Amino acid sequence: MVATVNELEHAAMTAGQRGPAEHQRREQILQAAGEHFRHYGYRKTTVADLAKAISLSPAYIYKFFVSKQAIGEAVCALCLSERTAALEKIVEETASPVECMRKIYKSLALKGAQLFFEDRKMHDIVTASFEERWNNLDAYNQALIDIIRRVLVRGRELGEFERKTSLEEACRAIHHTMQSFFHPILLEQNLDHLEEDATAVANLVLRSLAP
């Protein structure tokens, strides 16, 4: 059984967390963490800083999170879930699988660039998650593959995509071609022509998918 995107995001956000899933203090900690990370940066923020901001002791915060990284993973998962939510909306609202695939590439590129230029500290958190292989990253990658699979299945059913290639092989290959547009380090190296490159790669992939 394939996990849903929401289930994957929940698994990523709850990794390294303690205590009840729904708790006002947990939300308070995450809100303070998001604000501190955006203002001071993830690496410059300590658990003591977060505790001071919300008038708690570091020991109390550790009742909800096993480490600062666990807090960072939860904040990062929320950020990445906004991207998958945007992709989900594209899949739901775009009738043509071909056009849907083009929009997915474009959305990944534009969301990544937007984070880099408008929310640099959060971009740095996402970068840390890729560099250090945080738990939320596996869930995000799996969510992307699941979205790709849905588009491919619909495209094959409608006769817009070929059916000879193994579905899972095609999903993995397309996911790899998208990395330049969602991997923060690769994206940062190609900002000058990001949208044009996304369009070019999408068109190449679509030509390979043609029946």
Q: What pLDDT does 210 receive?
A: 96
What the block records as the tokens of 70 is 């666990």
Instruction: Give residue for tokens 């009840």.
Output: 20
Q: What pLDDT does 27 receive?
A: 84
Tell me whether residue 62 is exposed, middle or buried, using C-beta atoms within 10 angstroms of its C-beta: 0 to 12, 13 to 18, 19 or more. middle
Q: What pLDDT does 143 receive?
A: 94
Query: 79-209 belongs to which homologous superfamily?
Result: Tetracycline Repressor, domain 2 (1.10.357.10)
Provide CATH 1.10.10.60 ranges for the chain. 5-69
Q: What pLDDT does 1 receive?
A: 35
- CA neighbours closer than 13 Å in the CB half-sphere of residue 94: 19
Provide CATH 1.10.357.10 ranges for the chain. 79-209
Q: What pLDDT does 91 receive?
A: 97
Could you count the other beta carbons within 10 Å of the beta carbon of residue 143?
25
Q: What share of the chain is helix, strand, coil (3-state, %, to 5)?
A: 75, 0, 25
Q: What is the pLDDT along the chain (211 residues), one digit of tens a residue?
A: 333 444 444 444 455 665 555 467 888 888 888 888 888 888 888 999 888 888 889 999 998 898 899 999 988 988 899 999 999 999 999 999 999 999 999 999 999 999 999 999 999 999 989 998 888 888 899 999 999 999 999 999 999 999 999 999 999 999 999 999 999 999 888 888 999 999 999 999 999 999 9
**CB neighbour list of residue 146: distance below 8 Å, 6 or more residues apart:** 2, 3, 4, 5, 8
Could you please state the CATH topology (level 3) that the domain comprising 5-69 is classified under.
Arc Repressor Mutant, subunit A (1.10.10)
Whole-prediction pTM value?
A: 0.83
